[in-house]
């Protein structure tokens, strides 16, 4: 999450909340100020977009669809593969169309974030994955041609 300009707003937290904020900041390598700004931004996005939540992932904090294990960018992969047929994606995921549309709405509002994740995913082939996860095994579907 990138801000072009910023304003200074001070706030008072309980001592316990301050400690928790510092622990979170340390865990991510952020300053407490950066951590609080990110949390406020995430809270604003949650309030502005239905079904959106934020979680830590191996690549950092990402927008996810509430009640699922799917990041917004992963839902967008399905939307692309179903040629933007929201109903078909909902049926595939066994979700109401509103959840799929929520991912689309978020992606439209924050295209750089989602396009970055999609580009990163496209650049990751099995060899890259194998370096990160040496235990990974490549599987072929039953219908795949065999050598």
Q: What is the mean pLDDT of residues 86-93?
A: 98
What pTM did the predictor assign? 0.81
Are 114 and 73 contacting, i.e. CB atoms less than 8 angstroms apart?
yes
Q: What is the mean pLDDT of residues 122-133?
A: 85
Domain, as residue range, for 121: 72-139
* Number of domains into which the chain is organized: 1
Is there a domain that residue 7 lies in?
A: no
Query: In the chain, which ranges are E strands?
Result: 52-57, 60-65
The model's confidence at residue 6, banded by pLDDT at 50, 70 and 90, is confident
**Which long-range contacts (C-beta less than 8 Å, at least 24 apart) are formed by 121-127?**
121/73, 121/77
Number of H helices, E strands in the chain: 7, 2
The answer to whether the Cα torsion of 115, 87, 106, 20 is positive or negative is: negative
Is there a domain that residue 127 lies in?
A: yes
Percentage above 90 pLDDT, the chain: 73
pLDDT for 7-63, tens place per residue?
Answer: 999 999 999 999 999 999 999 999 999 999 999 999 999 999 999 999 998 888 999
């Amino acid at each position: 999450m990138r801000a072009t300009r910023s304003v200074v707003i001070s706030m008072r937290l309980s001592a316990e909340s301050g400690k928790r904020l510092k622990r979170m900041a340390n865990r991510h390598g952020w300053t407490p100020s950066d951590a609080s700004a990110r949390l406020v931004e995430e809270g604003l996005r949650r309030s502005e977009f239905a079904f959106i939540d934020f979680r830590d992932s191996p690549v950092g904090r990402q927008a996810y669809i509430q009640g699922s294990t799917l990041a917004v960018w992963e839902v967008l992969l399905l939307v692309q593969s179903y040629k933007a047929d929201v109903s078909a994606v909902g049926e595939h995921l066994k979700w109401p169309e509103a959840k799929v549309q929520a991912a689309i709405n978020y992606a439209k509002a924050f295209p750089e974030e989602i396009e970055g994740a999609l580009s990163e995913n496209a650049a990751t082939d099995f060899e890259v994955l194998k370096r990160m996860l040496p235990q990974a095994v490549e599987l072929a579907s039953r219908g795949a041609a065999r050598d």
